[in-house]
A and B are shown apart, each in its own frame.
Chain A
């Protein structure tokens, strides 16, 4: 229990310390704003620049990218922006206030932050689609496995199948191999007829093209199956058996791990909570990254999946605009338009084929928090109806995993976001906290 502390004030409050949030914070702080940056993780960098404790130094990363990462980290630390790590934003009790939870040795603590301008740089998560066996231990996200390896998982000697869709698959496979894993095969569900024009358009993005070629070269002897997707995973005597298909033929691969993700989904929950309008599943912004709510900006993946370069330029634009420095924007806006166009081509190339939304068996679990099976979800008119009847999406992930899945499977629209947007342990709030949460998702204390 804590006594209620006074809210800390920021001229510019940034949520998310990935590339977009760092770029925004640097731009605003170097123009004299008091900038606070909140992040759920232990350090800045986001998912793409998550720091690892890898046993061997990373030589597989592009020189360009490494230099940029180091440059941005240095600029961030020198900018005067203050990073507050380990904070997850749970609600916005009043206009201009965000509330966070931070875990401390003494237990979770609630803090409040007051802002004049707010920049949301909440990134993206992997899309997961259910198929028989996808809840078995040994099936992990593609980015998920990379994060675990950076977090010390000894992947050397493990046999890994990488499957799903998106440019992340190749990057993950190259890193896994670099760390000593045997990449058994890569299955990319996208059709070759979509990937060819996408690849051909990459001449205008030479750095990205070079990196793609570098990853592909690093994996030159690994079977890379385009137009193939996972259909089922079974337990084997040791490890797992992954079945892959192209619709005509099926192969079974024996391995220790399946790293599987179906491209990315924008993290829009916080933007929705503070009233920002979405458009096509992404936060609607104008050319200055302003959302539909005055004083609130959004940058990077939440505005539409477009990758690192888009995040960096959008973050800088958001930071400059939030600091009132709009005269520098014309050169940046050309770069912004180019990167957004890249994102649109990317998302078209890696669009889900209908077959991957039809993989569930009746007993396949769709909602992993509440173990709701596919058959129990069939026949409901909407996600709201399904939630009420089955608790699908009512568990601690609050639909972050099953929401994009049921949207793909049943075409259900996401339901409105309600606070807290992450589960809150009740002990984080003292009795004297006047901003009591409207509706608490409280964990049961089982121990």
Chain B
């Protein structure tokens, strides 16, 4: 590990059925952007990802553990969490 680096544990989540490892403390919208998976499909079917990153724009809404309309930028990844693109 490089000097000064902060060790962080990995957390495993499922994004659209794909296993994805993130650093502990990561927010779900960041994980989805890194995984290349859209958070939601817009009303006309466009893929969308996080825009504002601070809970205002609602572009990063996705389905977390079966609950829809979650602002993924305000939710921290938990081990085993299932996240799906909201359509």
Q: Mark B45-77, 1 if CB is under 8 A from A, else 0.
A: 011111111111111010100111100011011
- B-contact 0/1 string along A380-401, CB 8 Å cutoff: 0000000000000001110011
Interface SS, A side: loop
| Complex contact A151–B27 (CB within 8 A) | yes
Complex contacts, A445 vs chain B, CB 8 Å? 68
Given A125-B56, A371-B46, A397-B58, are A140 and B30 also a contact pair (CB < 8 Å)? Answer: no
- Whole-angstrom distance from the CB of B16 to the nearest CB of chain A? 14
B43 contacts A371, C-beta separation under 8 Å: yes
In the complex the two chains form, what is the Cα distance from A322 to B23 in whole Å? 42
Contact A425-B74, Cβ < 8 Å, known A152-B23, A153-B34, A397-B58: no
B73 near A57 with CB under 8 A, answer: no
In whole angstroms, how far apart are the Cα atoms of A144 and B87 in the complex? 23
A400 surroundings in chain B (CB, below 8 A)? 56-57
In contact, A144 and B67 (Cβ under 8 angstroms) = no
Question: Which residues of B are found within 8 Å of A138, using beta-carbon distances?
Answer: 49
Measured CA separation A141–B57 after assembly (Å): 10
Which B residues are in CB contact (< 8 Å) with A125?
Answer: 52, 54, 56
With A125-B56, A144-B50, A396-B58 in contact, do A57 and B42 touch (Cβ < 8 Å)?
no
Query: Which residues on the B side are within 8 Å of A55 (C-beta)?
Result: 5-6, 8, 23
Expressed in whole angstroms, the minimum distance between the Cβ of B34 and any Cβ of chain A is 6
State whether B68 touches A152 (Cβ < 8 A).
Answer: no
Q: Please tell me which stretch of A39-47, A64-72, A347-355 contacts chain B, meaning at least 4 of its Cβ atoms lie within 8 angstroms of it.
A: A39-47
- The count of residues in chain B whose C-beta lies closer than 8 Å to any C-beta of chain A is 47
Q: List 19 A-B contacts (CB under 8 A).
A: A54-B6, A55-B8, A57-B6, A88-B55, A137-B36, A137-B48, A144-B52, A147-B73, A148-B27, A148-B50, A151-B53, A152-B25, A267-B56, A368-B59, A371-B42, A395-B58, A446-B63, A446-B69, A447-B68
Q: Which residue of A lies closest to B4 (CB)?
A: A57
Question: A189 at interface (Cβ–Cβ under 8 A)?
Answer: no
- Give Cα distance in the complex from A396 to B43, angstroms: 12
Classify the secondary structure of B's interface with A: loop
- Enumerate chain B residues within 8 angstroms of A137, measured Cβ to Cβ: 33, 36, 38, 47-49
A135 in the interface (beta carbon within 8 A) = yes
Closest to B31 in A: A152
> How many angstroms between the C-alpha atoms of A137 and B53 in the bound complex?
13
CB neighbours (8 Å) of A371 from chain B are 42-44, 46
A40 with B55: CB separation less than 8 A:
yes
Partner of B53, one of A42, A57, A147: A147
Contacts of B69 in A (CB 8 A): 396, 423, 425, 443, 446
Q: Which 9 residue pairs of A and B lie closest in terms of their CB atoms, listed nearest first?
A: A152-B26, A147-B53, A151-B27, A144-B53, A153-B30, A53-B25, A396-B58, A443-B69, A371-B44
The answer to whether B73 touches A148 (Cβ under 8 A) is yes
Within the complex, the shortest CB–CB distance from A400 to chain B, in Å, comes to 5
Give per-residue flags for B1-39: 1 if the beta carbon is below 8 A from chain A beta carbons, else 0. Answer: 010111010000000000000111111011101101010
Contact with A144, one of B4, B8, B25, B54 (Cβ below 8 angstroms) = B54
A255 to B54, CA, bound (A): 24
Q: Which chain A residues lie closer than 8 Å to B24 at the CB level?
A: 53
